[in-house]
Amino acid sequence: MSTALPLTALHRRRLREIWRSAGWPCQDLVEVELLAAGLLERVRHGDGRETLRVTEAGLQVLAATLQKNRAARDAHEQLVERVATEMQRAGRVVWRGLSLRAPLEGEDGAAVWTMTMPDVFSIRHTTVEDYVEPVVHEIKVRRADLLADLRQSNKRAAYLALSSQCWYVLKAGIGRADEIPPGFGVLVAHDGALEVARPAPRRAMRLAFGTWMALARSTAEPPLDEDAQGQL
């Protein structure tokens, strides 16, 4: 007999791991709960081995999780594209999903380099280096992702090390401006507009040579075709 189980991310992850594997049991309490809920079943083999198998009910959970995650990814990419387009309309050169190295200060005071991937990175279209004003936009469409991101202080520090302004762009309803650390601006994405909930502080910033090289090796977003945009 199955029992109702409030499914957590850990339960869903274990179901995926068992589905992808030969089903060798860990014999921990997570598996006990999944077995009791009827999402897993034990399979005894003729040689005395026992493995686990995802049941039909477990497959339904995996399918529902897949659809939910796919919808969240689609919503995230749509908002990323929307912000990138707004930056281009503001006369900026824009990159999406760019991998950059950022210098952070280690415990001994020496620089520690970390890799980071801002959702949208942009610079002003200018020939004067001091006027480049690099800006980072971090996009969040789910509250769980926002809360997880806010626990990553090194990630936020890396964004600040790479930009003269850094913004969180939040889908309306998933968070408040006062939840975001004060060094960051907050944009709220409504269906029809991006609302400034809190301006981002401006800092003087000159891009490091390594960042320039990363930009040179990467492909910026192509110029906007405003006629095509208007037809969408």
Please give the residue that has the higher pLDDT: either 230 or 169: 169
The predicted structure's pLDDT at residue 1: 46
Q: Report H helices in 21-142.
A: 29-36, 56-89
**Verdict on whether the full-model pTM lies above 0.75:** no
pLDDT exceeds cutoff 50 at 25: yes
Contact 88, 120 (CB under 8 A): no
Amino acid at 91: G
Residues, the chain, total? 232
* Tens of pLDDT, residues 45-93: 988 889 999 999 999 999 888 887 777 678 899 999 999 999 999 999 9
Quote the CA–CA distance of 209 and 103 in Å, as a whole number. Answer: 12
SS (H, E, C) 65-84: HHHHHHHHHHHHHHHHHHHH
Q: Report H helices in the chain.
A: 9-20, 29-36, 56-89, 143-150, 153-162, 209-217, 226-231
pLDDT exceeds cutoff 50 at 228: no
* Tens of pLDDT, residues 209-219: 989 999 999 99
